[in-house]
């Protein structure tokens, strides 16, 4: 996840065991807290 050299956003997918959404969400939250990609926007979408 983050941004490519051309400024376009990349994506990431978290997968886990069936009915274990809590673990998947906990991992995703740790990733979000460790990065600031969720606070950045591509130049073309900034206001």
Tell me which long-range contacts 4-10 makes (C-beta under 8 A, separation of at least 24): 7/42, 7/43, 7/44, 8/42, 9/42
Is this structure's pTM higher than 0.75?
Answer: no
**pLDDT for the residue 47:** 63
| Number of domains, the chain | 1
**pLDDT for the residue 21:** 96
Residue 6 lies in a domain: yes
Which domain covers residue 30, as residue numbers? 2-42
End-to-end Cα, the chain, rounded Å = 22
**pLDDT for the residue 4:** 82
Residue 7 lies in a domain: yes
Tens-of-pLDDT digits for all 47 residues of the chain? 678 888 777 889 999 999 999 999 999 999 999 988 778 777 776 66
């Amino acid at each position: 996840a983050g941004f490519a050299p051309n400024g376009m956003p990349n994506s990431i997918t978290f997968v886990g065991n069936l009915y274990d959404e809590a673990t998947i969400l906990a991992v995703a939250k740790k990733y979000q807290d460790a990065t600031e990609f969720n606070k950045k926007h591509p130049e073309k979408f900034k206001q």
